[in-house]
Amino acid sequence: MKLGKERADIFVPDGQESEGALLRTTHMGVGAHQDDLEFMAMHGILECFGLKDKWFCGVTVTNGAGSSRAGIYADYTDQEMCDIRRLEQCNAAVLGQYGSQFQLDYPSSAVKGADQDEVVEDLYNILMATRPDVVYAHNPADKHPTHVGTSRALVKAIRKMELDKRPEKLLGCEIWRDLDWLPDSLKVVLDVSERANISSALSGIFDSQITGGKRYDQAVAGRRKAHATFFESHNVDEAEALSFAMDMTPLVKDVSLSTAEFVSGLIEAFKAEVLAQV
């Protein structure tokens, strides 16, 4: 497979030849940055962990050059930061037993901008080579512009596929804005209670980000626990950790539906639910 950037690559943790590794894919996560998959797509990672008939394929779109840095990483050049973040993502793929891990090496500017053709083409080629059943994506109501740009490029790539080859489900996950605001009837509730040790290890493996004082590992674990407790007000907790997603599948089934229309409908549903109670 020819990818757009010279340093783009695919890593297969178990050493399977790449074509076979891609063909076994059932679940895919497409994240903007190194560590996004582990924060937003843990459900897919755990769904596949240790199994031989389900495999997770990770796709990380950007190179990490713009990462914040402190402590031992404070004097790292952009290239050194790219290298350490790439290594951390590969380490996560080993620990999480991913079937494969792509790193596409784009600068954030290529993802946030209007011209996404090269990114879209890479994502399209990966999707055609893997044909996942379920894809975990950034949700378009996320407040991070690179996350939203990655989500937009992914939808474009899926829409290039023939209808019968598209993923059965596209789930928009939470990072830089949680999805507690979605009405319960519109939430996709993902139980991530199992293998808390694996979740914790995967969240904590990105030392270059956590050392600088951004305790993403603790924040993500806290959000999942909070969702489990506050999801139901009249019943005891049925899960120890939950994450929420929005079902973005309508965007890839109906190409006439714009992302703005899709998100606007969710916001209007939230507005109606709140106003009905007040």
Find the CATH number of the domain harbouring 60. Answer: 3.40.50.10320
Distance CA 31, CA 196 (A): 21
- Long-range contacts formed by 268-273: CB under 8 A, 24+ apart: 269/182, 269/183, 269/186, 270/181, 270/182, 270/183, 273/183
Q: Which domain holds residue 68?
A: 9-277
How many structural domains compose the chain?
1
**pLDDT of 234:** 73
Distance CA 246, CA 232 (A): 18
pLDDT of 165-201, one tens digit each?
Answer: 999 999 999 999 999 999 999 999 999 999 999 999 9
**pLDDT of 243:** 97
Tell me phi and psi for residue 221, to 5 degrees: -65, -40
pLDDT tens for the 278 residues of the chain, in order: 899 999 999 999 999 999 999 999 999 999 999 999 999 999 999 999 999 999 999 999 999 888 878 888 888 899 999 999 999 999 999 999 999 999 999 999 999 988 899 999 999 999 999 999 999 999 999 999 999 999 999 999 999 999 999 999 999 999 999 999 999 999 999 999 999 999 999 999 999 988 877 899 999 999 999 999 999 877 778 899 999 999 999 999 999 999 999 999 999 999 999 999 99
Q: What is the dihedral of CA 92, 149, 212, 223, to 10 degrees?
A: -70
**pLDDT of 233:** 76
- Residue 91 located in a structural domain: yes
- Residue 117 located in a structural domain: yes
Q: Is 177 helix (H, G, I), strand (E, B) or coil?
A: strand
- Residue 2 located in a structural domain: no
- Residue 4 located in a structural domain: no
- Residue 1 located in a structural domain: no
**pLDDT of 107:** 95
**pLDDT of 85:** 94
- Residue 29 located in a structural domain: yes
Work out the angle at residue 31's Cα, subtended by the Cα atoms of residues 96 and 9, and round it to the nearest 5 degrees.
75
- Residue 161 located in a structural domain: yes
- Residue 3 located in a structural domain: no
